[in-house]
Amino acid sequence: MVFGSGDKWSCAKHGEFAEMDPNREPQSPFPDCPKCKAVADADLCRECEKHKATINFSQDQMSYIHGFIERICLCCHVARVEKHFEEVKDGLELLKENLRNNPCDPLEPDAL
């Protein structure tokens, strides 16, 4: 992601990469980060920038449908899945502990 910071263009991943043109039209598109462009052109993983990208990754189905994808390698994909699994597992443990401390009330037969 590229953004303007002061009088320089910066990439969220690679830092500053160019001076801003003071005569730039406000509606002009942002310039590309040269490192990000080189990674994309070589079809390398957007995360590690070392391995060949083999997976189209997206945060959710809607993002995928609208083309918001990242090309990543299998190792980075597995790392993301493992991280997500750990987060879900930790959340599940908290829910189980909460259930042990506050069990559900039994349903009254007449409640149906």
Q: Tell me the pLDDT band of 26, cut-offs 50, 70 and 90.
A: low
Length of the chain: 112
Q: Tell me the pLDDT band of 49, cut-offs 50, 70 and 90.
A: very high
The tens digit of pLDDT for each residue in 51-86 reads 999 999 998 889 889 988 999 999 999 999 999 999
The tens digit of pLDDT for each residue in 28-47 reads 677 788 898 899 999 999 99
The tens digit of pLDDT for each residue in 88-99 reads 999 999 999 999
Q: Rounded to an integer, what distance in angstroms lies between the CA atom of residue 38 and that of residue 49?
A: 10
Decide if 57 contacts 72 (C-beta within 8 A).
yes
- The alpha carbon of 9 is separated from its chain's Cα centroid by a whole number of angstroms, namely 21
Q: Is 12 helix (H, G, I), strand (E, B) or coil?
A: coil
Q: Is 82 helix (H, G, I), strand (E, B) or coil?
A: helix
Q: Which residue has the higher pLDDT, 79 or 1?
A: 79
Q: Rounded to an integer, what distance in angstroms lies between the CA atom of residue 89 and that of residue 28?
A: 45
- Does the pLDDT at position 9 exceed 90? no
* Helix, strand, coil percentages for the chain (3-state, nearest 5): 40, 20, 40
